[in-house]
Amino acid sequence: MNKYEPCIAAIATGAGGAISIIRLSGSNVLSVVNQVWKSKDLIENYPNRSMQLGHLYDRNENPLDHALAVFMPGPHSYTGEDLVEIHTHGGAMITKTVLRELLHAGANHAEAGEFTKRAFINGKIDLTQAEAVSDLIQAQSEMALHAASKQLDGQLGKRVAESYEQLNEILGEIEVRMDFVDEELDWTSHQKLNRYITAAIENFTDLLQYQHEGEILRNGVKLAIIGAPNAGKSSLLNLILGHERAIVTDIAGTTRDTLEEQTTLRGIPIHLVDTAGIRESNDVVEQQGVNRSYQMMEQAQLILYLFDQTQNLDVQSFDIPQGKEENILYVVNKSDMPSKSSIENFFKDKTFVSISAKNGDGFNELLDAIEKQVWQEENHIEPEIAINARHADHLMTALTELHQAMDVLEMEDYELVAINLRVAIDAIGNLLGKTVQADVLDYIFGKFCIGK
């Protein structure tokens, strides 16, 4: 951390707020800031991490703003470097001008995610925590927020690091054993090797179970409502959203295009899609709408197939695209009205939920069914950990190697055990960012916004 890091600067807040924050970090941050910032005393002489009032000036001594500034000396700062935040009044002109003057005073404009990248490089956080910062910003539901926040706390990193250290320890011992193969020394017991590898296998297998949850919390679920015209699809969309978003009429064929909205249901981020009612039509516009309904069925992870119980159910049936049957949830609407024919006979052994989009009856049961279908289990509880595809990739590589290591350990072939352990350790090192490649870092931090 004694390494010289040139000062970077960026506007850390979005446009339009009452205040703007400009963030600077790097070895020469004080010499940069002191050219633009003037207050009773030098910023470094104020109590660290407390706000002071001062003035900002441009290079010609023209006053720019009254502002607050705070100095956080490294290593106890977000980046681990000397860091300053300047809080200006939130006008676009003020903020840009102050940034311009700071750049003129010697700061470089920060790249996307560069502050967090520096925090990672300086060992303040591991790579899973850096990723959590991005997850936190992008979280679309409270459950996603909780998962990201736990990851930012280091819960995932800690669990993985524990096995990483144990595997490194036994690899070290095995390597010594190979170097002194003919000597009768006090070697690590076979049981200990077995125990550590088994523990890592259990740990990684358990973590992999959170992949599905991680995917859902990060990417959400596309939920399409489909069915014959007048089934009540738009009414259901409105019920889910809690306001009259889509046009509802008793004219069959009211919705002619797909309509997409974001929402959350029981903590699940949902991309909700209303579609045109499916039927044969000579109307060119309606036919295109129906094509789109089929496209949505292809794309959706969850399809609410809605029937109108006041009409003949057979006529409302159509072919489901191949492979999509398991994504379907059958919903029978208009339970507030008499049904035309026997619903049980029609559905036979298929399960369905009965609702009234008009008065909300059965809505909770529908949410239960959606929840069960999404999590693939009943009574799902909020996950402790939500791993992403990158984590899962490395965990799977490690697991394959560790299973092989167990086999060759049985045969006491320590050389092979060492080879498997090295690959496993490498994969986990990548997960934590200990041995990660530059392009992977660029990819991860490139997704951040500037100033983060």
**Where do we find the tokens 């003129």?**
104
Residue 132 binds what, of ligand GTP, Mg ion, none (CB under 5 to 8 Å, by partner type)?
none
Min dist CB 323 to ligand GTP, Å, is 25
Question: Cβ distance 321 to 297 under 8 Å?
Answer: yes
Nearer to Mg ion, 255 or 327 (CB): 255
* Rg of the chain (C-alpha set): 29
Per-residue x/- track, 193-232, Mg ion (CB under 5 A): ----------------------------------------
For 440, the 3-state DSSP assignment is: helix
- Taking CB under 5 A as the rule, does residue 397 contact Mg ion? no
Q: CB of 246: closest distance to Mg ion in angstroms?
A: 6
CB within 8 Å of 33: residues ≥ 6 apart: 24, 43, 69, 84, 86, 102, 105
Contacts (Cβ under 8 Å, ≥6 apart) of 392: 208, 211, 214
Secondary structure (3-state) at 345: helix
Binding residues with Mg ion: total (CB under 5 A): 4
DSSP assigned state of 222: E
Choose the contact partner of 369 out of ligand GTP, Mg ion, none; CB within 5 to 8 A by kind.
Answer: none
- Residue 235 interacts, among ligand GTP, Mg ion, none and using kind-specific CB cut-offs from 5 to 8 Å, with ligand GTP
Given the complex with ligand GTP, which of 25 and 309 has the nearer CB atom? Answer: 309
Sketch the per residue contact string, 226 through 265, with Mg ion: x for CB under 5 A, - otherwise.
-------xx-------------------xx----------
Binding site for ligand GTP (CB under 6 A): 227, 229-235, 248-250, 252-255, 276-277, 333-334, 336-337, 356-358
Q: State the nearest-atom distance from the C-beta of 255 to Mg ion, in Å.
A: 3
Q: Which residue is nearest to ligand GTP (CB)?
A: 277
Helices (H), 242-359: 284-299, 343-347
Checking DSSP bridges between strand 108-109 and strand 83-89, what pairing results, if any? Answer: unpaired
CB of 332 to ligand GTP, least distance (A): 10
Query: Strand pairing of 63-72 and 83-89?
Result: antiparallel
Residue 70, amino acid: V
Q: For residues 221 and 304, which CB has a smaller minimum distance to ligand GTP in the complex?
A: 304
Q: Residue 284 half-sphere exposure, CB side, CA atoms within 13 Å?
A: 0
**Which residues form the interface with Mg ion (CB under 5 A)?**
233-234, 254-255
